[in-house]
């Protein structure tokens, strides 16, 4: 549905994107993770044709955004972190103006969507009086009009309260369930990505450093938390087993290593072992490893 | 086919904003003030002037002559501020507020967005000038009655004309107002052009006014009198020639062709700048 091929972009001579490529399949919810300034929003900007790529191409359902942006974007609905509406117009007028840019405004369909996002009571109020949550619902309504096949969400739950986040998550998951909606979800809220996405990419300094299923990401390098004294013996013994120390005092051993052998070796070497805990990394651990400055 | 509903949307945005109406309110106040002063202070002087020059007093002090004064002497200096303000805002304010990202995420070309905005600005400009003409004339009729012709004396453009016939005077003034509206589109085009660049809305308005006033000042410098024809504001002032007894259509056509060319150039460069911009948070 969405194919991003080898995107590059420079801002003021500095690389913002360095050959970013990924693919989002139809009906998939795909997360794009990264620190602030990592290149997530630039990637989204290129996908939406708002930012000109230095090189590379974005295809939406087989249509190139660079060659025919109007046709490519017909199937896209987008939501940004802080949706900026015309505050002096009502929600309904905003929808009419924005949706009218892409085609005829169908009031009946718009009313249905407004009801669906739970804004019926306030849709004729000025947007200036809306809360952040209401703006986000209005943004969702405009993104869903007329009938997109892919939603691009740029940190949509930032600033929402827990109730709002849950509502948003359930709504997006519901859209996938009912309509088979494809979603590209750009966020640094790991819990959201973990709960919503099928696959995820991690972008760091304009480079894609990881791509895979969320479950694979969580489990790809399980480790052991080992506590023993004195620390010199611990370091010497685990070194013998070619273990690698990871953040949080977690040791990752080669796949064939039996932990019982490690513990026996520690005891034989005179160490006092106080903790041996298998550690299954959270997405946050993995994310921090991949997105930190050192190489993963 | 979608152009007209989209233009209606753009006009709705423009006219739903309170600041769009500042110019209308200021001009209404200005017209009321000028006409009050005209009636209270100026009438005696006009009568004395008429007697000295053997001109009927109802030519010098008539509702049509007052309307000419209101439009001719205030639009350039006062009206230009509001045209620059509205046109300077039209793209830059949406970019600054983040609305432009929402707009650009829709399947619509940047050229279409700019054409819609430019049309909205041009409609605002022309209707504003007509509004000033209509309200100025209505208030003048209220203050002095509808009788009397039109007396034109414009030393800068070397025009002296008298129209005792009210109907002819009315239509010439109406035609003049329409041409003035077209002239003022240049200020709006300047504001629009700067608005397309990566600058703040206030900066776009200030830049447009700076260019306009610099041109105006240069045009009025005595030693540049032989080069008047190269200045935009001189060409913009050519609307007044429809009030000359023998209308110099060739001169008017030349000036308005130049102004149209300038408008198209400003739009095109603005579009090119807008097209090449990246829109990010």
C-beta of residue A228 within 8 angstroms of C-beta of residue A272? yes
Over residues B166-197, the pLDDT tens digits come to: 888 889 999 999 999 999 999 999 999 999 99
Q: What is the 3-state secondary structure (H, E, C) of A184-238?
A: EEEECCHHHHHHHCCEEEEEECCEEEEEEEHHHHHHCCCEEEEEEECHHHHHHHH
Nearest Cα of chain B lies from the Cα of A88 at a distance, in angstroms, of: 7
| Cα A61 from chain centre | 21
The CA distance from B66 to B140, in Å, is 7
DSSP structure class, residue A62: T
Sheet of A223-229: strand order equals A244-246, A250-252, A223-229, A272-279
Residue A26 and residue A198: Cα distance in Å, rounded?
12
Question: Are B69 and B177 a contacting pair, CB within 8 Å?
Answer: no
Residue B281: band (very low, low, confident or very high) from pLDDT cuts 50, 70, 90:
low
Distance between CA atoms of A139 and B98, rounded to whole angstroms? 13
- Residue A86: its chain B contacts at CB < 8 A? 13, 16, 99
Packing angle between helix B110-144 and helix B3-15, nearest 10 degrees? 60
Res A24: pLDDT: 93
Look at residue B274 in the predicted model and tell me its pLDDT: 96
pLDDT given for residue A30 in this prediction:
93
Q: Please give the residue of chain A at the shortest CA–CA distance from B11.
A: A97
Chain B residues within 8 A of A153 when measuring between CB atoms: none
Out of B16, B108, B279, the one facing A101 most closely (by C-beta) is: B108
**Between A282 and B46, whose confidence is greater?**
B46
Of B257, B194, B251, nearest in space to B228 by CA: B251
pLDDT of residue B161: 85
User: Could you give the CA distance from residue B233 to residue B136 in angstroms, rounded to a whole number?
Assistant: 23
CA distance A100 to B38: 49
Residue A292: per-residue pLDDT: 66
The answer to whether the Cα torsion of B197, B200, B205, B206 is positive or negative is: negative
Question: Hey, what's the torsion of the CAs at A231, A236, A241, A243, to 10 degrees?
Answer: 50
What SS3 state is found at B49? helix
Strands A182-187 and A199-204: unpaired
pLDDT for the residue A38: 85
Rounded distance, CA A70 to CA A60, Å?
11
**Exposure b/e, B45-82, CB count within 10 A at least 16 = b:** ebeeebeeeeeeebbbbbbbbbbbbbbbebbbeebbbb
Q: How far apart are CA B150 and CA A26, in angstroms?
A: 73
Contact B61, B38 (CB under 8 A): yes
Question: B17 at the A interface (CB within 8 A)?
Answer: yes
Q: Which two tokens stand for residue B180?
A: 């003035």
Cα–Cα distance, A125 to A90 (Å, whole number): 5
Position A295 scores a pLDDT of 43
Q: What is the DSSP letter of A90?
A: B
The per-residue pLDDT for A240 is 87
The burial class, CB within 10 Å (0-12 / 13-18 / 19+), for A30 is buried
Chain A hits for B276, Cβ within 8 Å: 52
Helix (H) or strand (E) run with residue B21 in it: none
Helix axes A162-179, A132-143, angle to 10 degrees: 10
Residues 6+ apart with CB under 8 A from A146: A99, A102, A103, A106, A109
d(CA B141, CA A296): 83
Interface membership of B4 toward A (CB under 8 Å): no
- Beta-carbon count within 10 A of A198 CB: 16
pLDDT given for residue A183 in this prediction: 93
Question: How many CA within 13 A on the CB side of residue B39?
Answer: 13
pLDDT value at residue A221: 65
Residue B91 and residue B195 in contact, taking contact as beta carbons nearer than 8 Å:
yes
CB A88 to CB B16 under 8 A? yes
What residues of chain B lie within 8 A of the CB of A103, using their CB? Answer: 2
Sequential pLDDT tens for chain A (296 residues): 899 999 999 888 888 899 999 999 999 999 998 888 888 889 999 999 999 998 999 999 989 999 888 888 888 999 888 888 999 999 999 999 999 998 888 999 999 999 999 899 999 999 999 998 899 999 999 999 878 899 999 888 887 888 888 888 888 889 888 888 999 998 887 778 888 888 988 888 888 888 888 777 765 667 888 888 898 888 888 888 888 877 667 788 887 888 888 889 989 999 898 888 887 766 777 777 777 654 43
Alpha carbon distances (Å) from A29 to A5, A35, A177, A195, A198: 19, 20, 11, 10, 5
Angle between the B166-196 and B80-97 helix axes, to the nearest 10 degrees? 30
Burial annotation A3-15 (CB, 10 A radius, 16+ → b, else e): bbbebbbeeeeee
Element (H, E) at A68: none
Question: What does residue A12 show for φ and ψ, rounded to 5 degrees?
Answer: 50, 45
ipTM of the complex: 0.83
Q: Please report the pLDDT score of residue B208 as a whole number.
A: 96
The nearest alpha carbon in chain A to B3 belongs to: A101
> Mind listing the pLDDT tens digit for each residue in B117-166?
999 999 999 999 999 999 999 998 988 888 888 888 888 778 888 888 88
Q: Which residues of A touch B280 (CB under 8 A)?
A: 41-42, 45, 50-51
Is the pLDDT reported for residue B43 higher than 70? yes
Which tokens sit at A36? 């602030």
- Distance of alpha carbon B90 from alpha carbon A103, whole angstroms: 22
Nearest residue, CB atoms, A97 vs list B13, B98, B101: B13
What is the Cβ-side half-sphere exposure of residue B141, based on CA atoms within 13 angstroms? 10
Distance CA A40, CA A186 (A): 7
- Are residues A71 and B107, on separate chains, in Cβ contact within 8 Å? yes
Q: Measure CB to CB from residue B104 to each of A48, A74, A83 and give the nearest one.
A: A48
Nearest residue of B to residue A98 by CA position? Answer: B103
Q: A86 and B104: CB-CB below 8 Å?
A: no
Q: How many helices (H) and strands (E) does chain A have?
A: 11, 14
């Amino acid at each position: 549905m969405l194919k991003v091929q080898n995107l590059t972009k420079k801002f003021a001579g500095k690389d913002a994107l360095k050959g970013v490529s990924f693919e989002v399949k139809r009906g998939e919810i795909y997360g794009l993770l990264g620190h602030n300034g990592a290149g997530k929003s630039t990637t989204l900007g290129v996908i939406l044709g708002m930012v000109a790529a230095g090189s590379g191409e974005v295809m939406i359902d087989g249509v190139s955004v660079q060659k025919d942006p109007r046709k490519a974007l017909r199937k896209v609905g987008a939501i940004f972190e802080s949706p900026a509406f015309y505050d002096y117009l009502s929600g309904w007028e905003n929808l009419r103006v924005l949706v009218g840019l892409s085609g005829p405004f169908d009031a009946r369909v718009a009313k249905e969507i407004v009801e669906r996002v739970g804004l019926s009571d306030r849709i004729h109020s000025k947007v200036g009086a809306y809360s952040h949550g209401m703006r986000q619902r209005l943004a969702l309504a405009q993104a869903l009009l007329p009938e997109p096949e892919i939603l691009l969400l740029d940190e949509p739950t930032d600033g929402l309260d827990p109730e709002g986040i849950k509502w948003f998550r359930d709504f997006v998951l519901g859209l996938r369930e009912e309509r088979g909606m494809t979603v590209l979800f750009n966020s640094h809220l790991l819990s959201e990505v973990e709960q919503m996405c099928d696959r995820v990419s991690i972008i760091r300094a304009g480079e894609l450093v990881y791509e895979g299923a969320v479950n694979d990401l969580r489990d790809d390098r399980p480790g052991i938390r080992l506590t023993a004294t004195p620390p010199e013996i611990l370091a010497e013994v685990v070194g013998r087993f070619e273990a690698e120390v990871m953040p949080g005092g977690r040791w990752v051993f080669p796949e064939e290593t039996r932990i019982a052998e490690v513990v026996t070796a520690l005891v034989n070497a005179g160490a006092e072992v106080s903790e041996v805990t298998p550690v299954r990394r959270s997405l946050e651990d993995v994310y921090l490893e991949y997105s930190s400055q050192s190489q993963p | 086919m979608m152009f007209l509903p989209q233009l209606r949307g753009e006009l709705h945005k423009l006219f739903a904003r309170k600041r769009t109406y500042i110019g209308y309110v200021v001009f209404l106040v200005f017209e009321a003030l000028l006409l009050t002063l005209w009636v209270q202070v100026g009438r005696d002087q006009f009568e004395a002037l008429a007697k000295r020059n053997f001109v009927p007093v109802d030519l010098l002090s008539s509702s049509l002559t007052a309307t000419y004064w209101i439009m001719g002497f205030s639009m350039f200096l006062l009206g230009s501020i509001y045209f620059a303000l509205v046109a300077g805002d039209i793209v830059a304010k949406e970019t600054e507020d983040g609305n432009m990202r929402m707009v650009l995420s829709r399947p619509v070309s940047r050229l279409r967005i700019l054409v819609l905005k430019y049309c909205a600005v041009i409609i605002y400009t022309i209707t504003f000038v007509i509004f000033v003409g209509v309200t100025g004339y209505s208030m003048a009729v209220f203050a002095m009655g509808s009788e009397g012709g039109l007396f034109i004396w414009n030393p800068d453009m070397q025009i002296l004309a008298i129209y005792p016939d009210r109907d002819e005077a009315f239509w010439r003034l109406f035609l003049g107002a329409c041409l003035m509206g077209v002239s003022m589109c240049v200020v709006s085009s300047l504001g629009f052009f700067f608005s397309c660049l990566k600058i703040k809305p206030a900066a776009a308005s200030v830049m447009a006014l700076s260019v306009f006033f610099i041109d105006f000042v240069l045009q009025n410098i005595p030693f540049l009198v032989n080069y008047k024809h190269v200045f935009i504001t001189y060409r913009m002032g050519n609307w007044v020639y429809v009030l000359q007894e023998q209308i110099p259509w060739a001169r008017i056509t030349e000036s308005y062709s130049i102004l149209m060319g300038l408008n198209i150039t400003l739009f095109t460069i603005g579009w090119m700048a807008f097209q090449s911009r990246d829109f990010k948070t």
